[in-house]
Amino acid sequence: MADTLLEAHRIATVARDQGRAALSGNEIRIIGRLYTGALARARTDNPASDTTVLADTPAPWAPGSGPAVR
């Protein structure tokens, strides 16, 4: 997401430096595609079913992660 924000900022800065009050349609499409890609990556990297902080570490409330009950 940081790369997306930096690229959006770069595009906007260039437009301002050129004295433009608005982004072009193409620039808006580029930024939209960057955000779409960043959100897709976030969903892939952070699936809703994963309740652990670290992939190989079970969450403390997960079944089987506490002390054995005898």
Q: 39 Cβ partners below 8 Å, 6+ apart?
A: none
Note whether 66 and 60 are within 8 A (CB). Answer: yes
Q: State how far the Cα of 13 lies from the Cα of 20, in Å rounded to an integer.
A: 10
Residue 47 carries which side chain, given as an amino acid letter? P
pLDDT tens across 2-19, in order?
A: 899 999 999 999 999 999
pTM (predicted TM-score)? 0.62
Residue 50 φ/ψ region, left for φ over 0, alpha for ψ in the -120 to 50 degree band, beta for the rest? beta
Predicted confidence (pLDDT) per residue in 36-56, tens digit: 999 989 888 877 765 566 556
